[in-house]
Chain A
Amino acid sequence: MRALRAWVVRLRGVLTPARRDREFDAELESHLQLHIDDNIQAGMTPVEARRQALIKLGGIEPARQTQRERRGIPLLELLLQDLRGGIRALRSGTSWTAIVMLALAIGLTTAMFAIVDALILRPVPFRDADRLAQIAMFDQHGTRPTRWPVVDAWKRSGRFEAVESVTYGTALVGTDVGPIVSTSAFVTAGMFDLLGVKPVRGRAFNPDEAGAQGSGVIISADLWRRAFNGDPGIIGRAIPFDRGAQVVIGVMPAGFRFPEWDTEVWQPLDHEVKTRVTWPTTYARFSTALPRADVLKAVEEIAHQADATTNGQYVRPSVIAGWSNSQYSERALPLLAGGVMLVFVTLCANAGGLLLARFNTRRRQFALCAALGASRRRLMTQAFVESAVLGTAGAAIGVGLASQLVVAARRLLPPAFLERSLHPLALDMTVLVVAAGLAVLATLPVGLLPAWVATRLDVNGLLRLVERGGTETRAARLLTRAFIVTQVGFGCTLLVGTGLLVRSFLNLASIDRGFDSRNLTIAQVSVDNKLVPEPNARRAVFTQITEVLERLPGVIQVAWSHGAPTANAGLQFGSDWLPDMPGASPIRLEVNALYVSGDFFRLYGIEVLRGRAVEHADGPGGGVVVDERMAAALWPGLEAVGRSFTWGKTRLEVVGVARTTRRLVMDRDRDYPTLYWAFEPEDARSATASLRCAATCPSDGAIRKQLLSVGQAVRVSAVKNIDAAYDADLAEPRLTASVAIVFAVIAVLAAAGGLFSILSHAVGRRRREFGIRSALGASTRAIGALVLREGVAVALVGLAIGSVGAWFLARALASVQYGVTVSDPISWAAVVGVLALTTLVAAWRPTRAAMRVNPVELLKEE
C-alpha cells in the first residue's frame, strides 16, 4: 500500500519537475545557511564555514541528482524526454517524408490484407466450419457426377452428421421495383441447419415442404430491403416468380452469402428440381464421433453400391471456399498481395534511408552527448524513440488511409473482384491488429538499424568528427547503400511484373476474336413450356419474337443460338472423337459447342471458309460446322468438308469449316475449338437471341420490354451488349494491371527519392573534397562524373538484384499472363529504360550542386 502511494506521488513528481527543483534548491540553500551559521558560531571564517558545509553535504549537484532520482521515476522521465525530442523532430521535413512513406506502406499493406483476409484467409462464416465440406466423387480426371441415388444413400447411412444438397439457378422475381433477375439456389430442407444459420424473420424450410408445388421461398435481407422496401409484412406475402407465385416464408440475415456470393433467393429443392437436375452439389457435416478417414472409406463403398457408374472413383471432401470467384482473381490476388509486400519493403527502406541520413547529420550532437557521458544505449534509445514516434504517426495515418482505400475498394470494385466473398469486406479488429504489427515490423528495422549505426562512435574518431562537422562511417555507408539497393531492386522487380501484366492486358484487349463484336446485343429468352407445350405453337411464338425484335429501331438482323462466342457462353465438354479415316483412333478433345441457327454466321460475321453453314434441316444428328482448329485436330493437313466423325454413337458430317473465334479466357489452352450444331429455338428450353444493329443497339431495357410484350409465356433472364460484356470480362485483368502500375509507380518514385536523397547528402558531405579537387585543377565535369558514378553504381547493383527477383516474379505471374513470355523483351527494355531515366533524374540536382562548389567560397566559410 505504502509503496503504491509512493509510486503515485513519484508519478506526480514526473509531471511537475521545475517547481520541485526550485523547492529543493530553496531547501538546500536553507540547509547550507543553517550549517554555515553553526560553523561560524564554532569560530570558522565565513569562507571556511561554507566550504565545510559543502563538504559535509557532499556537493550541491550530487545532492540534487539523488533527490531527482528519488523524486520521480528516472526511466519514465528519460522516456518522456525522448518522446518530447521525437515530437520536436516532427517539425523537420525529413520526418514528414518518412512518415508519409511509412503511412503509405502500412496503409496499402493493411488494405490489401483486409481484402485477402475477406477473400481467402477467413474461414467461411458458418458454425464449426472446419467440420463442413463439399463432397463429391472424383477420379484422376477430376469431379465426376455424384447423382441422387448416391446422395440419398449417404443421407440414409448416417455416416455424416448431415448431408444436404444445392442446385443453382436464376429466378425472375416480381418485386416492388419491377421484375428483377436474381441468383437463386434450390436447397434441401436441412441446408440452413447444416450451416448453422437461421432466418432472421420467418422460418427455414420444413422437410415436407420439398415436393409440394407452390411452396415458400426464402429471400436475402438485401433483396428484402432493396426490392421490397423492408416490408414488415413480407412473411406470408405471395410474390410472382417465373415458376408461378410463391409465398415468402423467411428472410436470411444480412451478410449471409451461400452457395454463391450473390444468391438472393432460396427455394426448396423439390421433386421437380430433383428430376430436372440429376447432379446436385452436396455438402456434409462430419460428426465428431467418427474418424474422417473411416467415414470417407465407408461412404465411398456406399456410393459404389448405390451407383455402379461410380466404380473406381473415390470420395473427396473439399473445403467450402470463402470465395466463389473467377479463376483469374483467384490467381491474381495472391500475386498482388505479394506485390504489396514488395512495396512495403521498398517504402520502409526509403524511410530507413531518410532516418539514417538524419541521424548521420546529427552525429556531431551524438558525439557531444557521448563525450558528456551518455552511454551508447542511452543514445540508441533516444534515436529509437524518435523513430518510434515516426512509426506511430505513420501507423495512425496508414490506418486512416487503409480505411479510405477499403471504402474506395468496396465502391469501385464489387462485381469484378471483392464482393464475391462469402464475407463482407471491412476493416475489423484482426485487420487493425495486423496494421499494428506492420507498424512494429516497419519501425523496428527502420528505426533500430539507423540508430545502431549512427550511434557507433569510436572514441578516437570523436574529436576529429566534431572538428570536421560530420562524416560517414563505413557501417552507415553500407546501410545507406543497402537501403537504396533494396528500393531500386524491388522497384525493378515490380516494374517487370507490371510490364508483364500490362502487356498481358493489352494482348487480351486486342485479341482477334474472329467475329464482329460492334453493335451486337444478346438476350437470353425462354418460352414457358407449360404454357406453350406444343412445338408448332412454340415455333410461332419464337417467330413472333423475331419479328418484334426486328421491328425495334436500328435492329438489322436477329439470329438464334444456344450459347454465344463470348467468354463463358457455350457448352464446353471433353470427349472422344473418331475421325472417318481407316485405322484412326479416337481423339480426345475439349470443345466449345454452340447450337446455332443458319443465319448465325452471317450475323456474327464469322466467315465460313469452306463448305456451307449449318441449316435447320441438318438436325441435331446430321451436319455440323467445325472451326479451323477442330478441323486441324481431327484431320491434320486434310480438307475436312465432306468428311465425317463419330461422337459416341452419333455420326456427324462436316458441312463447313468456319474461321477460328477466340474467347477471352486467361489460359489459352482452355480456349477450346468450336463445334457448331444446327439448332432452332423452339427445340430448347431457352435460347439466345443475337441482335445486330445498324449503329447503336436499343437499350437493354427497351429490348426486354419488347420481348415481354409478346406474351405471358416469354421470360427474359439477361440482356447484354457484347462489347459491354467483353469489357466486364476485361475488368479483372485491367484492375490487376492498374493496381500493379500504382505499386510500381510508388516503388520507382520511392527509389528515385531515396537515390536523390543519398546523393544529395553525399554531395553535402563531400563539398570540402570537391572544393579541394577543383582548386587542384579538376574540371567540373570530372567532379560531376564522380557523383554520377556513385548513383549509377548503386542503381546497377539494384538492377542486378532486382532482375533476379523479377525473374522469379515473372514465373509466378505465368498463370495470369496472356501472350507474353517470362523474358518478354519489351517489358525488360522498358524496365531498364525507366530505371536509367530515374537514376539520371535523381542524380541531376546533386551532380549539379557538386559541380558548382566554389573553392573560394568554401574557404571563406571555413
Chain B
Amino acid sequence: MSGKSDVWQGTLALMVLKTLETMGPLHGYGIARRIEQTSGDRLVLNYGTLYPALLKLEQEGYLASEWGVSENNRKAKYYKLTRAGRKQVATETREWEEATAILARFLAGEKS
C-alpha cells in the first residue's frame, strides 16, 4: 500500500458533515480541498464522487445549498449544515467513535 489511501465507503459523508461543522458554509471544491488538507494529504479524493455525496446529504435534509461568491470573486454553490445536519454530525461521530473503540480493543486483544 502506498502512502495515500482512498476514502472508505461511508466515511465520506461524515467527513463532509464534520468539515462543514468546523468551517461553516463552503463550496464543493473547498470541502474537497479541506478534507485532503485535514488528512494531511494522505487521502486521495476523486472530486467527481464528492458531488453525488453532497446531493445525497442534501436530499436527506442534512445540508442546504445556495449560490454565493467566493473570496476570489467566483460564483460558487455554498453548502451549509441544517439543524438536522448538526444532530447527524453528533450521532455519526458517536457511532464512529464507538465502532473504532470496539475495533481498537479487538485489535489490542489480538496482540496480547
What residues of chain A have their CB less than 8 Å away from a CB belonging to chain B? 2-3, 5-6, 9-10, 24, 26-28, 30-31, 33-35, 37-38, 56-59, 62-63, 66-67, 69-71
Sample of 24 A–B contacts (CB below 8 Å) = A2-B61, A3-B60, A5-B59, A6-B59, A9-B59, A26-B75, A27-B51, A27-B76, A27-B77, A30-B27, A30-B75, A30-B77, A31-B28, A34-B30, A34-B76, A37-B74, A59-B48, A63-B47, A63-B48, A63-B51, A66-B51, A70-B55, A70-B59, A71-B55
- Asked if residues B76 and A66 are in contact (CB atoms below 8 Å), the reply is no
- Asked if residues B27 and A34 are in contact (CB atoms below 8 Å), the reply is yes
Q: Would you call B46 an interface residue if the criterion is a C-beta within 8 Å of the partner chain's C-beta atoms? A: yes
Q: Would you call B112 an interface residue if the criterion is a C-beta within 8 Å of the partner chain's C-beta atoms? A: no
CA A3 – CA B75 in complex, angstroms? 31
A63: chain B residues within 8 A (beta carbon): 47-48, 51
Q: Would you call B49 an interface residue if the criterion is a C-beta within 8 Å of the partner chain's C-beta atoms? A: yes
Task: Give B33 Cβ to nearest chain A Cβ, in Å.
Answer: 8
| Nearest-CB residue, chain B, relative to A53 | B47
- With A6-B59, A71-B55 in contact, is A66–B48 under 8 Å at CB? yes
- Asked if residues B72 and A37 are in contact (CB atoms below 8 Å), the reply is yes
B83: chain A residues within 8 A (beta carbon): none
- Asked if residues A27 and B48 are in contact (CB atoms below 8 Å), the reply is no
Q: Would you call B40 an interface residue if the criterion is a C-beta within 8 Å of the partner chain's C-beta atoms? A: no
Q: Would you call B109 an interface residue if the criterion is a C-beta within 8 Å of the partner chain's C-beta atoms? A: no
Which residue of A26, A27, A35, A58 is within 8 Å of B46 (Cβ)?
A58
B77: chain A residues within 8 A (beta carbon): 26-27, 30
A28: chain B residues within 8 A (beta carbon): 51
CA A31 – CA B29 in complex, angstroms? 6
B21-63: which residues lie under 8 A (CB-CB) from chain A?
27-30, 33, 46-49, 51-52, 55-56, 58-61
A69: chain B residues within 8 A (beta carbon): 52
B5: chain A residues within 8 A (beta carbon): none
Q: Would you call B70 an interface residue if the criterion is a C-beta within 8 Å of the partner chain's C-beta atoms? A: yes
- Asked if residues B52 and A66 are in contact (CB atoms below 8 Å), the reply is yes
- Asked if residues A6 and B29 are in contact (CB atoms below 8 Å), the reply is no
Which among B47, B49, B72, B75 has the greatest number of chain A C-beta atoms within 10 A? B47
CA A66 – CA B46 in complex, angstroms? 12
| Nearest-CB residue, chain B, relative to A8 | B59
B75: chain A residues within 8 A (beta carbon): 26, 30
Q: What 18 new A-B contacts, CB under 8 Å, besides A37-B72, A67-B51?
A: A2-B61, A5-B60, A5-B61, A6-B56, A6-B60, A24-B51, A27-B51, A30-B29, A30-B77, A31-B27, A31-B47, A34-B27, A38-B33, A62-B48, A66-B48, A66-B51, A70-B56, A70-B59
| Nearest-CB residue, chain A, relative to B30 | A34
A34: chain B residues within 8 A (beta carbon): 27, 29-30, 70, 72, 74, 76
- With A6-B56, A63-B51, A66-B51 in contact, is A33–B74 under 8 Å at CB? yes
CA A316 – CA B60 in complex, angstroms? 71
- Asked if residues B61 and A66 are in contact (CB atoms below 8 Å), the reply is no
A3: chain B residues within 8 A (beta carbon): 60
Which among A5, A35, A56 has the greatest number of chain B C-beta atoms within 10 A? A56
Which residue of A2, A24, A30, A57 is within 8 Å of B74 (Cβ)?
A30
CA A37 – CA B27 in complex, angstroms? 15
- Asked if residues A67 and B55 are in contact (CB atoms below 8 Å), the reply is yes
A2: chain B residues within 8 A (beta carbon): 60-61
Task: Give A13 Cβ to nearest chain B Cβ, in Å.
Answer: 8
- Asked if residues A27 and B59 are in contact (CB atoms below 8 Å), the reply is no
CA A70 – CA B58 in complex, angstroms? 11
B61: chain A residues within 8 A (beta carbon): 2, 5
Q: B65-84 toward A: CB 8 Å interface, digit per residue (1/0)? A: 00000101011110000000
Which among A10, A57, A62 has the greatest number of chain B C-beta atoms within 10 A? A57
Which residue of B48, B56, B60, B72 is within 8 Å of A57 (Cβ)?
B48
B52: chain A residues within 8 A (beta carbon): 66-67, 69-70
A57: chain B residues within 8 A (beta carbon): 46-48
What 9 pairs across the A-B complex have the smallest Cβ distances? A58-B48, A63-B48, A6-B59, A70-B52, A34-B29, A9-B59, A2-B60, A30-B76, A57-B47
B51: chain A residues within 8 A (beta carbon): 24, 27-28, 63, 66-67
| Nearest-CB residue, chain B, relative to A20 | B55
CA A347 – CA B72 in complex, angstroms? 70
CA A35 – CA B52 in complex, angstroms? 18
B28: chain A residues within 8 A (beta carbon): 27, 31
Task: Give A28 Cβ to nearest chain B Cβ, in Å.
Answer: 8
Task: Give B75 Cβ to nearest chain A Cβ, in Å.
Answer: 6
- Asked if residues A66 and B49 are in contact (CB atoms below 8 Å), the reply is yes
- Asked if residues B49 and A58 are in contact (CB atoms below 8 Å), the reply is yes
Task: Give B27 Cβ to nearest chain A Cβ, in Å.
Answer: 7
A59: chain B residues within 8 A (beta carbon): 48
CA A38 – CA B30 in complex, angstroms? 11
B60: chain A residues within 8 A (beta carbon): 2-3, 5-6
CA A382 – CA B60 in complex, angstroms? 32
Task: Give B10 Cβ to nearest chain A Cβ, in Å.
Answer: 15
A30: chain B residues within 8 A (beta carbon): 27, 29, 74-77
Task: Give A27 Cβ to nearest chain B Cβ, in Å.
Answer: 5
B72: chain A residues within 8 A (beta carbon): 34, 37
Which residue of A9, A26, A37, A58 is within 8 Å of B47 (Cβ)?
A58
Q: B81-100 toward A: CB 8 Å interface, digit per residue (1/0)? A: 00000000000000000000
CA A2 – CA B84 in complex, angstroms? 10
Task: Give A33 Cβ to nearest chain B Cβ, in Å.
Answer: 5
CA A563 – CA B88 in complex, angstroms? 96
- Asked if residues B47 and A56 are in contact (CB atoms below 8 Å), the reply is yes
CA A40 – CA B51 in complex, angstroms? 23
- With A27-B51, A58-B46, A70-B52 in contact, is A35–B59 under 8 Å at CB? no
CA A71 – CA B51 in complex, angstroms? 10
CA A255 – CA B57 in complex, angstroms? 63
CA A10 – CA B76 in complex, angstroms? 23
CA A460 – CA B39 in complex, angstroms? 51
Which among A27, A37, A63, A70 has the greatest number of chain B C-beta atoms within 10 A? A27
CA A57 – CA B76 in complex, angstroms? 16
| Nearest-CB residue, chain A, relative to B45 | A56
Task: Give B62 Cβ to nearest chain A Cβ, in Å.
Answer: 8
CA A71 – CA B27 in complex, angstroms? 18
Task: Give A38 Cβ to nearest chain B Cβ, in Å.
Answer: 8
CA A181 – CA B36 in complex, angstroms? 100
A9: chain B residues within 8 A (beta carbon): 58-59
CA A308 – CA B62 in complex, angstroms? 93
| Nearest-CB residue, chain A, relative to B77 | A27
CA A69 – CA B52 in complex, angstroms? 8
Task: Give A68 Cβ to nearest chain B Cβ, in Å.
Answer: 9
| Nearest-CB residue, chain A, relative to B55 | A70
CA A69 – CA B56 in complex, angstroms? 11
| Nearest-CB residue, chain B, relative to A69 | B52
A27: chain B residues within 8 A (beta carbon): 28, 51, 76-77
CA A37 – CA B75 in complex, angstroms? 13
Task: Give A87 Cβ to nearest chain B Cβ, in Å.
Answer: 29
B70: chain A residues within 8 A (beta carbon): 34
CA A70 – CA B33 in complex, angstroms? 23
CA A585 – CA B75 in complex, angstroms? 118
Task: Give B37 Cβ to nearest chain A Cβ, in Å.
Answer: 12
Task: Give B91 Cβ to nearest chain A Cβ, in Å.
Answer: 11
CA A208 – CA B72 in complex, angstroms? 107
Which among B51, B56, B72 has the greatest number of chain A C-beta atoms within 10 A? B51
CA A69 – CA B77 in complex, angstroms? 20
- Asked if residues B74 and A10 are in contact (CB atoms below 8 Å), the reply is no
